[in-house]
């Protein structure tokens, strides 16, 4: 860890990651509203710009073209001020992010959320296993400096609101500490 940002930025970049269904998109939208930062939904970007090599029919998900995605995002990340929302965290350059949030949801709460999305049983099981094994949290801890990785519970609306308030407070502090 400890890589210095390659480009000074006036606003921080935040990654919000976690297993599908933990609340990344909802939290990112609310955090963008609260902070004025810009939400980048990476899944939507992959689809709209075709940054993939087609559909994996078994899991009903796109096979990411990582190089294309990183190239596409590089210029967006340079000035800062982005909230990046994606279920995979280890593909991005470490220097992009000032804060990495890993959302966590209890099994009995996550399962019905995934069912409600109409995911096929294989995809539900894959994602439940991912959350139980803490895959995203471990990937985040391996990919970023330990002091910027924060694990937050996302089981209820109250927790989501607390998480958004925390992100806002963190950003205000970051700005105060990064003034010239
Ligand atoms: P993700 O982007 O991680 O896949 P999402 O934001 O689309 O997740 O949320 C999936 C569903 O679960 C959606 O219907 C909103 C709901 N949800 C997410 N986080 C929640 C929370 N902390 N409390 C209550 N509902 C939540």
Q: Which domains does the chain carry?
A: 14-175 (3.40.50.300)
Task: Give the residue from 90, 80, 107 showing the smallest Cα distance to 144.
Answer: 90
Read off the pLDDT of residues 106-160 as tens digits, 9 standing for 90 and up. Answer: 999 999 999 999 999 999 999 999 999 999 999 999 999 999 999 999 999 999 9
Cα–Cα distance, 97 to 166 (Å, whole number): 17
Q: Which residue has the higher pLDDT, 56 or 107?
A: 107
pLDDT at 128: 98
Sheet holding 14-17, edge to edge: 38-41, 82-85, 14-17, 99-104, 149-153
pLDDT at 104: 98
Q: What's residue 58's pLDDT?
A: 80
pLDDT higher than 80, residue 71: yes
Question: How far is ligand 1, taken at its centre, from the CA of residue 31, in Å?
Answer: 14
Q: What percent of the chain has pLDDT over 70?
A: 96
Cβ atoms 101, 152 nearer than 8 A: yes
pLDDT at position 107: 97
Ligand 1 center from residue 68 Cα (angstroms): 28
Q: Say if ligand 1 is within 6 A of residue 156 CB.
A: yes
pLDDT band (50, 70, 90) for residue 25: very high
Q: What is d(CA 81, CA 10) in angstroms, rounded to the nearest whole number?
A: 8
Nearest-10 Cα torsion for 143, 37, 70, 94 = -20
| Whether the predicted interface score ipTM is above 0.95 | yes
Ligand 1, residue 105: give the atom nearest the CA. Answer: 22
Q: Is the CB of 23 under 6 A from ligand 1?
A: yes
Q: What tokens were used for 7? A: 């480009």
Rounded mean pLDDT, 84-101: 97
Band of pLDDT at residue 93, cut at 50, 70 and 90:
very high
What distance in angstroms lies between residue 7's CA and the mean position of ligand 1's atoms?
A: 33
Atom of ligand 1 nearest to the CA of 163: 22
Residue 115 vs residues 34, 41, 55, 81, 118: alpha-carbon distances, Å: 30, 22, 21, 34, 5
Phi-psi region of 13 (alpha: psi -120 to 50; beta: other; left: phi over 0): beta
Contact 128, 20 (CB under 8 A): no
What does the pLDDT read at residue 179? 78
Dist CA 12 CA 169 (whole Å):
13
């Amino acid at each position: 860890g400890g890589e210095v940002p390659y480009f000074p930025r006036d606003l921080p970049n935040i990654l919000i990651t976690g297993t599908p269904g933990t609340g990344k998109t909802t939290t990112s939208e609310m955090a963008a509203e609260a902070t004025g930062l810009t939400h980048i939904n990476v899944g939507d970007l992959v689809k709209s710009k075709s940054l993939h090599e087609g559909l994996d029919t078994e899991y009903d998900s796109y096979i990411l073209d990582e190089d294309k995605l990183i190239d596409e995002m590089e210029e967006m990340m340079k000035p800062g001020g982005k909230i990046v929302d994606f279920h995979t965290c280890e593909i991005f350059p470490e220097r992009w992010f000032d804060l990495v949030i890993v959302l966590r949801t209890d099994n009995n709460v996550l399962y019905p959320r995934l069912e409600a999305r109409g995911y096929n049983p294989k995809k539900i099981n894959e994602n439940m296993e991912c959350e139980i094994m803490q895959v995203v949290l471990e990937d985040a801890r391996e990919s970023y400096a330990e002091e910027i990785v924060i694990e937050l519970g996302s089981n209820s609306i109250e927790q989501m609101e607390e998480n958004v308030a925390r992100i806002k407070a963190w950003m205000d502090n970051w700005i105060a500490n990064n003034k010239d």
